[in-house]
């Protein structure tokens, strides 16, 4: 009799009690808007910014309404204009090219490697096509950041890091988001801290920070920020920077602060589950695991494997068989976008581009979320199910 998994791939852990109590305190006093503070009070959003900046070693931090808003704000803050071209990954999620489109710019897609990171050879070849790279650390995979920054520095390219899946990760000990000019993070429910929606932006550039704060809708109340440059910097930008409101409120900030203090513990728990799944899938004919480089400190909140050069029908059969046994896999090779699995040729607001190398890899990418509500026994069971169904289809083919 075959085993089945009966758990949920979308159920998050409950918020910690300290976060619930912090939220209750904000609701009790009613001052949810980040600038609605009494004399001498340090608002939750301002404290969150100060604490996260210290956590990742940044000078400045801004809390905003979503990770996607952080990305678009970053583009505006570095001066991207209507019609400009912006380099970005061919393998990413829709909010990344969406943020480029939101400012009227045009994405130029860079190939994905079999390690599921940006192809640095293709990046070097396209470096003369744009002055900004929005680098997506898609599904938590970090490329060789030293080599990437050398390519970009040599070409005069400003790097914005999309760290939606790499909060808590690092390359050679440097936190994700701290190599480029700006790091952008998501606090959406399925990311590494959970406020439903929310985002964080960090930078060491004082003028970028001031512009981002003004863009978020500070209403000249920038002195109420704790992780911000001095007033003289705002004097240079405040009359020419539009208000595109997207602030984080004190309620969400209160929920996030305790979670960030426990991030390292949560990362260790994710990686236990990831490694259990990885061990269960290793050395399986037809299935390629993504090997993590020694230089990378990763967060295993999802796992990907490749059914490289399989037919679309065979991959679809694996997905369907696993689903019948309770295992929800997502596939980036389907003919139509489904859920979050849209890809560069789905985004028709972008100019059509030919990326045959990426097409081959995207056609084989299978992705699975790893919630912390899974036990290690759950992960071992899920790996057995995937292993059995991949083997069955592979041997039949």
The answer to whether position 33 is within a domain reads yes
> End of a domain among 230, 261, 292?
261
Same domain as 299, residue 271: yes
Q: How far apart are CA 102 and CA 68, in angstroms?
A: 10
206, 239, 261 — which closes off a domain? 261
* pLDDT average, residue stretch 282-305: 98
Mean pLDDT value of segment 330-353: 88
Choosing from 261, 289, 318, the residue where a domain stops is: 261
Interval 8-27: pLDDT, tens: 999 999 999 999 999 999 99
Look up residue 236 and give its DSSP letter: H
* 183 pLDDT more than 70: yes
Is the domain of 276 the same as that of 240?
no
In eight-state DSSP terms, residue 105 is -
Residue 345 in any domain: the answer is yes
Sign of CA dihedral 195, 197, 201, 207: negative
Query: Based on the domain organization, do 196 and 329 belong to the same domain?
Result: no
Do 187 and 79 share a domain, yes or no? yes
Span 80-87, average pLDDT: 98
Q: Are residues 82 and 204 in the same domain?
A: yes
pTM: 0.97
Q: What is the pLDDT of residue 67?
A: 98
Q: How many residues are present in the chain?
A: 397
Kindly report the CATH number assigned to the domain that includes residue 195. Answer: 3.40.640.10
pLDDT class of 312 with cuts at 50, 70, 90: very high
| CA atoms lying within 13 Å on the CB side of residue 108 | 17
Asked whether residue 250 is domain-assigned, the answer is: yes
pLDDT above 90: percentage of residues in the chain: 95
What's the sign of the alpha-carbon dihedral 331, 336, 341, 342? positive
The predicted structure's pLDDT at residue 342: 87
Q: Do residues 220 and 272 both lie within one domain?
A: no
CA count, 13 A, side-chain hemisphere, 58: 33
CA dihedral 36, 230, 185, 137 (to 10 degrees): 170
Amino acid 335: pLDDT: 78
Confidence of residue 338 (pLDDT cuts 50, 70, 90): confident
Q: For the chain, what is the mean pLDDT? A: 96
Report residue 1's pLDDT band, with 50, 70 and 90 as the boundaries: low
Give 238-267 pLDDT, tens digit per residue.
999 999 999 999 999 999 999 999 999 999
Percent of the chain exceeding pLDDT 70 equals 100
Asked if residue 94 has pLDDT above 80, the reply is: yes
Confidence tier at 300 by pLDDT (50, 70, 90):
very high
Residue 10 lies in a domain: no
150: containing domain:
17-261
Are 120 and 162 contained in the same domain? yes
The domain that contains 357 carries what CATH number?
A: 3.90.1150.10
Residue 194 lies in a domain: yes
Q: What is the mean pLDDT of residues 64-75?
A: 98
Residue 7 lies in a domain: no
77 and 207 fall within a common domain: yes
Angstrom distance (rounded) from CA 281 to CA 279: 6
Higher pLDDT: 123 or 41? It is 123
Among all chains, which residue has been given the structure tokens 């020419």? 240
Both 243 and 304 in a single domain? Answer: no
Q: Are residues 322 and 335 in the same domain?
A: yes
Count structural domains, the chain: 2
Residue 170 counted as domain residue: yes
Decide if pLDDT at 232 tops 70: yes
If we measure between CA atoms, which residue out of 252, 248, 246 comes closest to residue 76? 246
Contact of 343 with 111, CB cutoff 8 Å: no
Question: Do 286 and 361 belong together in one domain?
Answer: yes
> Is residue 82 in some structural domain?
yes
Q: Are residues 365 and 316 in the same domain?
A: yes
Q: What is the pLDDT of residue 387?
A: 98
């Amino acid at each position: 009799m075959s085993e089945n998994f009966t758990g949920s791939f979308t159920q998050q852990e409950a918020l910690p009690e300290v976060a619930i109590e912090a939220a209750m305190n904000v609701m009790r006093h009613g001052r949810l808007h980040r600038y609605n503070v009494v004399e001498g009070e340090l608002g939750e959003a301002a404290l969150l910014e100060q604490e996260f900046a210290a956590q990742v070693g940044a000078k400045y931090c801004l809390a905003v309404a979503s990770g996607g808003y952080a990305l678009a704000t970053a583009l505006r803050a570095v001066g991207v204009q209507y019609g400009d071209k912006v380099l970005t990954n061919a393998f990413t999620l829709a909010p990344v090219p969406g943020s480029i489109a939101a400012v009227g710019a045009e994405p130029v897609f860079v190939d994905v490697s079999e390690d599921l990171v940006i192809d640095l050879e293709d990046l070097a070849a396209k470096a003369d096509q744009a002055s900004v790279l929005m680098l997506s650390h898609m599904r938590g995979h970090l490329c060789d950041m030293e080599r990437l920054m050398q390519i970009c520095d040599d070409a005069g390219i400003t790097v914005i890091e999309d760290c939606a899946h790499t909060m808590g990760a690092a390359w050679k000990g440097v936190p994700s988001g701290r190599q480029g000019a700006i790091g952008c993070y998501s606090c959406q429910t399925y990311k590494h801290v959970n406020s439903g929606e929310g985002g964080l932006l960090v930078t060491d550039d004082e003028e970028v920070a001031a512009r981002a704060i003004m863009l978020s809708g500070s209403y000249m109340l920038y002195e109420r920020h704790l992780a911000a440059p001095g007033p003289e910097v705002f004097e240079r930008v405040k009359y020419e920077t539009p208000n595109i409101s997207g602030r984080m409120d004190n309620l969400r900030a209160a929920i996030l602060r305790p979670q960030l203090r426990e991030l390292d513990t949560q990362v260790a728990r994710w990686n236990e589950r990831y490694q259990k799944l990885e061990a269960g899938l290793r050395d399986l004919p037809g299935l390629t695991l993504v090997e993590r480089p020694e230089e990378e400190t990763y967060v295993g909140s999802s796992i990907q494997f490749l059914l490289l050069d399989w037919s679309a029908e065979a991959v679809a059969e694996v997905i369907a068989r696993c689903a019948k046994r309770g295992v929800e896999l997502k596939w980036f090779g389907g003919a139509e976008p489904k859920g979050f699995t849209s890809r560069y040729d789905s985004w028709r607001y972008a100019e059509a581009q030919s990326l045959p190398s990426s097409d081959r890899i995207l056609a084989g990418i299978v992705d699975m979320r790893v919630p912390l509500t899974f036990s290690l026994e759950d992960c071992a069971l899920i790996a057995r199910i995937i292993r059995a169904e991949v083997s069955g289809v592979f041997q039949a083919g």
